[in-house]
Amino acid sequence: MKKAYYIAKKDFFEYFIKPPTLSWGITFPIAFALSFLIRGKDLFFLAPGLITLASFFGTTSMASAAIVFERRMKEFERMIVAPLDYWEIVLGKMIGSFLFGMLTSIVTILFIIPLLGMYSLNLGTLGIALVLSSLVFAAFGVYISMMINDPRNVMVILNSVRFPMMFLSGVFIPLNTYPFMLQIIAYALPLTYEIELLRWVLTNNSFLNPFITIFGSIIWILLFFVLSIWALKRRY
């Protein structure tokens, strides 16, 4: 556990607290949210999806950038030749990306809450939702980055997964208006659970039961964590 913390700490100083990364982590979610909110329609419905999407894109990009860059420069192999368990490497990489995801989410929320006047939020449940979603996205980003063979292709692969998810997870259209087959697909996507969980926290009007979304999030975290370890073992 300690070694996972050391890896996360190293990533934090090496990648995350750099002016370009921080400014991207702050400006991207704001610009992203603004581009939709400026139209002023269905703001209460859109807000949970936009906050989650900002975190989704920020966290997965950061996870993949940190891992892919290290794989290309062979820095990643430093951890492989060290006497570490693979789960320590995966967890360390997840924690670093998770912290960045939290930053992105918090920035977006701080920007959106005053716009929508959502001042009576339960900070406890909001915190749980943000932690869970950032962990799911961090684990997802780590898994994709570990799985691909050629690190140069990571953004292509990541985007070919992220963009369809964006349109199928109920960000822009309520899940209950989807045709049955699309609803089935939506339930198989991690993003759906995180959007629905935040929708419940922010508007108390989610399509999925909040306990299902919490349970689903935990399952996604565990699944991507185990798959990342498997991907590492397969490679080394």
Partner 1 sequence: MIHVENLTKYYDDLLAVDHINFDVRKGEIFGFLGPNGAGKTTTVRMLSCLTKITEGEAYINGYSVKKDKKMVKKSIGVVQDTANLYGDLTVKQNLKFIAELYGVDKKRVNEIIKEFELPADRKFEKLSFGFKKRATLAAAVLHNPPVLFLDEPTVGLDVRSSYAIQKLILRLNKEGHTIFLTTHNMQIAEKLSHRIAIINKGKIVAIGNKYQLKTLLKKKIKIEVEISNIQKQITSELQTFSPRIEGNKVIFFAEDVHEFLEQFYQITKKYNIKTKSINTVLPSIEDVFLEVTK
Tell me the number of residues near partner 1 by CB under 8 A: 22
Q: Cβ 12 to partner 1, closest distance in Å?
A: 11
Helix axes 190-203, 43-72, angle to 10 degrees: 140
Min dist. Cβ of residue 137 to partner 1 (A)? 24
- Report the distance separating Cα 87 and Cα 157, nearest Å: 24
Quick one: 18 or 164, whose CB is closer to partner 1?
Answer: 18
Q: Give me the least distance between CB of 105 and partner 1, in Å please.
A: 25
What ranges in the chain are assigned the alpha helix state H? 2-11, 19-37, 43-72, 76-81, 86-116, 123-147, 154-168, 180-187, 190-203, 210-235
Q: Give the footprint of partner 1 on residues 14-43 (CB under 8 A).
A: 14-15, 18
Chain centre to alpha carbon of residue 166? 12
Show the site string, 46-75: x = touches partner 1 by CB under 8 A, - = not: ---------------------------xxx
Give the burial string for 106-133 (b: 16+ CB within 10 Å, else e): bbbbebbbeeeebeeeeeebbebbbebb
Whether residue 3 contacts residue 90, with contact meaning beta carbons closer than 8 Å, is answered with no
Residue of 46, 51, 79, 94 interacting with partner 1 (CB under 8 A): 79
Query: Smallest distance, Å, CB 151 to partner 1?
Result: 14
Does residue 152 interact with partner 1 by CB under 8 A? no
Contact residues toward partner 1 (CB under 8 A) are 2-3, 6-7, 10, 13-15, 18, 73-75, 77-85, 236
